[in-house]
Structure 1
Amino acid sequence: MTCQGEDPKVEEMEMCRIAWKGFALTMALVGPALSGSALAQEETRADEEIAYDTVVVTAQRREQSLQDVPVAVSAFSADQLKNNNVETIQDLALRTPGLTVGAADPIQNNFSLRGIGTANGISQNAGGDGSVVVFVDGVYAGRGGTMDLDVLDLERVEVLRGPQGTLFGKNAIGGLIQFVSRKPSDERSFYIEGTAGNYDKYNLVVRGNVPLSDKVFLSGGISHKQRDGYEFNETTGNDVNDQDMTTARAALRFLPSENLDIILRADISTQDQAGNPRDNICNEDFNTGVHCVGVNPDPRIVNAYTDGQIFRQISSYSGEINWDLGYGTLTSLTALRDVKYKFRTPFFSNPVNPPTQIESTDFGWEDATQFSQEIRYAFEALNDRLQGQVGLYYLDEDIDRLQGQIQDFPAPAQTGTAIYPQSVTASSFAVFGQFDYDLTERLTATVGARMTWEEKEGRFAGMKVSGPGLPPPLGSLEGYDVNASEEWEAFTPRFALNWQAADNVMVYASAARGYKSGGFQGLSGTDAGASTPYDPEFAWGYELGAKTEWFQRRLTLNAALFKTDYEDLQISQLVPLCCVVVSNAAEAQIKGLEVEFVGRVSENFRIDGSYSYLDTEFVEYQIPGSDYTGNELPRSPANKYNIGAQYEMPVGEWRALVRVDYSWVDDAYFEASNVASQLWPAHDNLDARLTLTLPDERWEVSFWGKNLTDELVPTYVTYFGPFQQTLVPYAPPRTYGVTLSLSM
């Protein structure tokens, strides 16, 4: 790549500009730490490195040091999650480069990673899937989200960025989030934690581990969380967007012999709370039409005729067997997952001329059952120069869903109720393998591939159940009831070279292809729309990265420069008074830079952070009546960074740990149209935590605050152009509280 000369190529200059910008910001962030570390190095013998635990990840389905993995990975240990106030995936996103999380409601997350995300509404219908997926202890969590993180007794969380189409496969076209819990062990332990905070927040978490014999170990936990709502519904007089959630989990581990390890896991989570009616944004810049008359200007006050409801129950059961055969390890992972979900969301509900109201409500339920079976064989050969994995994967999903819409407008032709029953059966089968071969002592080549065969079939219907008028998006008075099916296949290879340039410097280059399943549009206005499938998405990701440690391991500095060619994007387009139409309408190109660092200034003082830059563009996107070519991809902020500082010190016989985290996210658009009314404004976030540990190191008390600047951040935007109507839910306001815990 040429950065200087008489006539450098435009694309090369752009990549150079990205690289220089990232380098400059990195130096600005870590410069003080570098200076302090350099001085310390001059006065420190080579054998006096600051001691810290090696971060172990399973980004390649086997345990490796984070610094040895030729993949862009952010890893958070259990202590980091606690000290950083991470309770939700949204908290995780603030601290992860390239990751953003929107939310239609408190449990329907919408991920975007390196610019690749799920178009609004696709993953919420029975025939659609997400572009960034979640795995819990190796099990694909396809629908319904994840359970409460606290009860998982997490060992770590990993975020893998870029297409992961070989070892993880299904739908990880943008990347994945992996939750890894602690395995039951022979160490007896007990942990209890209670939290109280504003909005009448009360949490209780209890976890424990006990050996039943020298070969059988049991661990388990239970968590309950509740609080009042963040918003107030003027019409009903009740708080909305509250929380009421209970989760339980158990794991049983058998070690019948030295070479056999069996783990059985079970968990259940129940959540039942009020909904979060949308706020109608009305200001001097836009939205000054009739629908803003009588609207309370306070964004935390809504005017909905009902509070709505969110109910979710997740049950998951899995069995993992690891059998050491001497010449390799055979792993079997069997899982059954069931998600029940009900919702009622008033998303368009405001006075026109008080006391008259206009109402538009989404409601429905879903019951999704998932069975998966994976078999992997990992081995080493040729004097450990060759390390490989081969495997088979099978997934079966049965999804029954009913979604409905109620509209009560002044115009009778737009008043009525329509329902959209959906029933989908989906199956996926894959054969995969990946091999690492040491070409020399310092140079390793990786080759992998996955072949996937998928099928989806279902029944889709739409019908009016009350009138007088025809509520959109139903396009015909007769309604429809159709059957449809489709098959797809995908080949997703991966190639990589990693070079151990020095003991603490590894450089790698990779190319990987990702794949996301096709599907059906469950909420369609016509029978043709319901029975016509949309095709899979594909992305080739190219990455050049480095994993480095400097100054007696006082500074860890990792970086990745990447480019993604993204084709056949599944785009959803809201057609006012009609429907959400999904089609493979676009191609895109994404370029970017990511930097992560940890500076260990002393044994007691640590700073860390990350920066990501994204340059996204639809290189082709045309639909009837609109041309979005050249626009930015949704939920893709150009700049995003976070920085945290942590200091630990004695206070008499006690120990104090102070942690402050600041993050900033550039503005971005929620939709491909890139109109100002769908702008996700730039925003920052400030969290802090003070933890005091008693002398016996069993008791801890923590004082914490989140979003201390009380930033008002939309998590989702719906814009109805003809009515000048912008509807949004918001992220939590400023919260604070105290947590008391006991470890034994």
Structure 2
Amino acid sequence: MAVQDILRGFSISTAIAGLCAAAPSFAQAEGETDPAASGLGVIVVTAQRVEENLQDVPVAVTAFSAQQLQNSRATSLRDIASMTPSFTATEVNPGEPNFAIRGIGTEGINSNAGGDASVVMFVDGVYIGRGGGSNLELYDLERVEVLRGPQGTLFGKNVVGGAISLVSRRPDLGDNFVGGTITYGNFDRLELLGRFNYAVSDSFAISGALNRVERDGYTFNETTGNDVDDEGSMGGRLSLRWRPSSVVDVVLTGDFTDQDQRGQPRDNVCDATLAGGVHCVGVNPDPRIVNAVDDGFLRREVGGVTLNVTVDAPFGELTSITAYRKANYSHRDAFFSNPINPPAQIESINENREQSEQLSQELRLAFNMFDDRLNGVVGLYILNEDIRRNEILEQTFPVAVVTGIGSFPQDVDSESYAIFGQVNFEVTDRLTLTAGARMTWESKNAHLQGVLVAGPGLPPPLSAPYDITASQNWNAFTPRAAIEYHISDEVMVYASAARGFKSGGFQGTAGTGASAAIAYDPEYAWNYEVGVKSRLFNDRLQINLAGFHTDYTDLQVSQLVPLCCVVIGNAADATIDGFEAEFIAVLAPGFRLNGGYSWLDAEFSSFATGATADHTGNRLPRAPRHQFNLAAEYEVPVSDAIDLYGRVGWSYRSSVFFEASNTPLEVQEGHSLYDARLAIRSSDGGWELAVWGQNLSNELVRNHIVAFAPFGQQLNTYQPPRTYGATLSFEF
């Protein structure tokens, strides 16, 4: 990491600190307009499936309130990742995010209908199994929580790396309002958000939100003359809340997302001195200009209904969450293309179409006994998923032998059942012991096909068409134990051991029927963690620390087969050691610093014989050794009715590899990102006008890299360039 990068980042907060040197006396003279201005307030999370103070939870979790999301202009999980230790958010295919926490997150898993992610999103407690069915826009939320490390006991399968929990705003039985947000920015970015809450009576309320986002593309396709990598989406949510008695609370929520936009053809970066430079002919060196014969597309239709019923019974709080979700996702992009005497082009196009449905039911009982010295949660969980996906790979080359179109239809039905529980026993007022476990039973039934549509084959060739059925059952026991000790009312230390489990699956793009019929195994992780959570100096300084060691076995690793597809296999074991730190400091009324740091030593401890290559000792993909974030915020009243708010932020991520092979072509170098926001707002929260900018230094950051060493070639997609704009918000 370059010293100047650190100095540039920290200079932001230093400069503001200098400007605000007189802030304490000024604020004292004017008086404090907000009780929270002189303290940190309480952050409530549900990291253990019950509402608790963040500082009392023996889990490494970062939480963002609705106000924090607005102040930082966090509109995507990529923004959340820049402010969260050990968390990265990228995409292989547009609209199918790949998350990694503490270095764990299988890349390319979305290509398999029979595969699962290592980091899972939950929306209002509902498991979102597929990347194409994820909620990509953050709007009208109560909070976002990022839980780091295996969460298998309470959250179930596929949270071996961690979990992301989005909690939407619930209808308020005592409030009526209508609000909206209008944003305009460069690239003709237009965001429109409308939201409301209406309390029909003291027992029934309705709330909703409608969100629209449009912008022009960040990239220009010279071949078609169109902007690509644009954005066009609309989403909405409607919730009904009924409280027929003081002990029953019913919330019914429906949501939808529609997305229709051009694709994201990859930028071709290659070495003209290799292989006669055939892959470089006619390629524009500008990374924001591509030469693709096809603009591609991204289309998503996602929706669902969730029924949440809570009953305060004499023996505890009973919660039922019933959810149905459906997603239609399709995507087409020029994976590799360049003009060779147009219209004859080297073209490699990836297209996929997926329809998924899931039905889930969770029942939980949270209880307290023996004067609250014993408390916990027990429950059962059922999930049924039906996923139909067709992965289409097109290769069009001047050389006929490597020209072909392969289609890989996949139909996978999954069923998962689990029972779980966790108890906490207060040995003394300061010492608490925790024990929990989950037992999961899972089955997958797959119908997989390989079809040669045209041409003599794909390299490596689809040796023969196949049409096979296969099934596999797994079960997993995922326990957790923890001890927490409150040294004082302000400081808590904890230690924990937890096991995580990620389901096995089937190859979606296998080269033969025999390999398609063989399932890859689940992966498991044991995580050992110690941590400190503290509130100091009269609630003006919060410091949370965590150190961990994680042993992964049968790690599912994705590997790119050149000019073909992504294959998944249990190629490796891995060892991860790490340290995380987060802090919030109130330096003066209205003036805050907050930040975080993570250090990761994540490497393959073994790489099984028979894999594509032996990568023992290599770093895990998307596991930056160092990750920093720092932000300074200052809010000051300028009159009795108006406040001025400003925020500047800096984040740094050291180099990461995108593949297990760790070649120089597969690395994104360390980089810093800067953002800023300045707002004038009414003291009562009725309106706000803000100007903002993100990636202010216009850093070129690779979102994903596919490398072909024989040609010295990278096929890249990129994160957004410098963006800026203005936002008007109101509520009445």
Task: Tell me the equivalent position of 2:635.
Answer: 648
Per-residue Cα deviation, 1:537-586 (whole angstroms, up to 9, x for no partner): 00000000000111111110000010000110111222224543321110
Task: Tell me the equivalent position of 2:549.
Answer: 563
Q: d(CA) in 1 for partners of 2:646 and 2:36?
A: 25
2:113 counterpart of 1:163: no
Task: Tell me the equivalent position of 1:593.
Answer: 579
In structure 2, the residue corresponding to 1:104 is in which secondary structure? strand
Task: Tell me the equivalent position of 1:534.
Answer: 520
Task: Tell me the equivalent position of 2:422.
Answer: 434
2:572 counterpart of 1:572: no
Q: 1:577 to 1:309 in 2, by over 3 A?
A: closer
Aligned sequence identity (%):
50
Task: Tell me the equivalent position of 1:447.
Answer: 435
Contact 2:647-2:678 within 8 A present in 1 as well:
yes
Q: 1:504 to 1:112 in 2, by over 3 A?
A: same
Q: 1:608 to 1:285 in 2, by over 3 A?
A: farther
2:84 counterpart of 1:96: yes
For 2:489, which of 486, 503, 516 is the aligned residue? 503
Q: d(CA) in 1 for partners of 2:37 and 2:507?
A: 57
2:79 counterpart of 1:80: no
More displaced 10-residue stretch of structure 1: 180-189 or 640-649 = 180-189
More displaced 10-residue stretch of structure 1: 578-587 or 249-258 = 578-587
Q: d(CA) in 2 for partners of 1:697 and 1:130?
A: 39
2:404 counterpart of 1:416: yes
For 2:540, which of 549, 554, 557 is the aligned residue? 554
Shift of 1:725: 2.4
Task: Tell me the equivalent position of 2:3.
Answer: none
Q: d(CA) in 1 for partners of 2:298 and 2:246?
A: 47
Q: d(CA) in 1 for partners of 2:160 and 2:521?
A: 14
Q: d(CA) in 2 for partners of 1:669 and 1:129?
A: 21
2:325 counterpart of 1:329: no
Shift of 1:287: 8.9
Q: d(CA) in 2 for partners of 1:198 and 1:308?
A: 23
Task: Tell me the equivalent position of 2:118.
Answer: 131
Shift of 1:528: 1.2
Aligned residue identity for 1:668: V
In structure 1, the residue corresponding to 2:67 is in which secondary structure? helix
2:295 counterpart of 1:307: yes
Q: d(CA) in 2 for partners of 1:387 and 1:54?
A: 21
TM-score scaled by length of structure 1: 0.92
Contact 1:518-1:534 within 8 A present in 2 as well:
yes
Shift of 1:699: 2.0
For 1:340, which of 328, 331, 334 is the aligned residue? 328
Q: d(CA) in 1 for partners of 2:136 and 2:184?
A: 17
Shift of 1:50: 2.5
Contact 1:171-1:515 within 8 A present in 2 as well:
yes
Q: d(CA) in 2 for partners of 1:112 and 1:287?
A: 35
Aligned residue identity for 2:119: V
Matched residue count: 709
Q: d(CA) in 1 for partners of 2:154 and 2:323?
A: 17
In structure 1, the residue corresponding to 2:721 is in which secondary structure? coil
Aligned residue identity for 2:419: V
Q: 1:716 to 1:145 in 2, by over 3 A?
A: farther
Contact 1:135-1:179 within 8 A present in 2 as well:
yes
Q: d(CA) in 2 for partners of 1:288 and 1:203?
A: 47
Q: 1:656 to 1:105 in 2, by over 3 A?
A: farther
Q: d(CA) in 1 for partners of 2:480 and 2:239?
A: 34
Q: 1:695 to 1:396 in 2, by over 3 A?
A: closer
Shift of 1:473: 5.1
Shift of 1:148: 4.9
More displaced 10-residue stretch of structure 1: 602-611 or 649-658 = 649-658
Per-residue Cα deviation, 1:37-62 (whole angstroms, up to 9, x for no partner): 9x99xx9xxx9992342001000011
Shift of 1:622: 3.6
Q: d(CA) in 2 for partners of 1:430 and 1:226?
A: 41
Q: 1:724 to 1:424 in 2, by over 3 A?
A: same
Q: d(CA) in 1 for partners of 2:663 and 2:109?
A: 21
Contact 1:525-1:578 within 8 A present in 2 as well:
no
Shift of 1:285: 9.6
Shift of 1:320: 0.6
Contact 1:514-1:539 within 8 A present in 2 as well:
yes
For 2:187, which of 189, 194, 199 is the aligned residue? 199
Q: d(CA) in 2 for partners of 1:49 and 1:688?
A: 20
Pairwise CA RMSD: 2.4
Aligned residue identity for 1:498: E
Equivalent residues in 2 for 1:313-392, closer than 5 Å: 313-353=301-341, 356-392=344-380
Q: d(CA) in 2 for partners of 1:146 and 1:553?
A: 37
For 2:600, which of 614, 619, 623 is the aligned residue? 614
Shift of 1:474: 4.3
Contact 2:271-2:277 within 8 A present in 1 as well:
no
Q: d(CA) in 2 for partners of 1:742 and 1:373?
A: 38
In structure 2, the residue corresponding to 1:166 is in which secondary structure? helix
Q: 1:179 to 1:248 in 2, by over 3 A?
A: same
Shift of 1:695: 6.3
Q: 1:567 to 1:404 in 2, by over 3 A?
A: same
More displaced 10-residue stretch of structure 1: 236-245 or 142-151 = 142-151
Shift of 1:106: 3.3
Q: d(CA) in 2 for partners of 1:395 and 1:286?
A: 51
Task: Tell me the equivalent position of 2:713.
Answer: 725
Aligned residue identity for 2:615: Y
TM-score scaled by length of structure 2: 0.93
More displaced 10-residue stretch of structure 1: 410-419 or 226-235 = 410-419
Shift of 1:403: 1.2
Shift of 1:283: 5.3
Task: Tell me the equivalent position of 1:141.
Answer: 128
Unpaired runs of at least 5, structure 2: 1-5, 29-34
Task: Tell me the equivalent position of 2:589.
Answer: 603
Q: 1:115 to 1:287 in 2, by over 3 A?
A: farther
2:249 counterpart of 1:261: yes
Task: Tell me the equivalent position of 1:480.
Answer: 466
Shift of 1:357: 1.3
Aligned residue identity for 1:214: D
Contact 2:242-2:251 within 8 A present in 1 as well:
yes
Aligned residue identity for 1:128: G
Contact 2:431-2:485 within 8 A present in 1 as well:
yes
Per-residue Cα deviation, 1:206-236 (whole angstroms, up to 9, x for no partner): 0000011221110011011100000000000
Q: d(CA) in 2 for partners of 1:669 and 1:557?
A: 30
Aligned residue identity for 1:680: Q
In structure 2, the residue corresponding to 1:627 is in which secondary structure? coil
Equivalent residues in 2 for 1:701-716, closer than 5 Å: 701-716=689-704
Task: Tell me the equivalent position of 1:661.
Answer: 649
Shift of 1:713: 0.5
Q: d(CA) in 1 for partners of 2:165 and 2:652?
A: 24
Aligned residue identity for 1:546: V
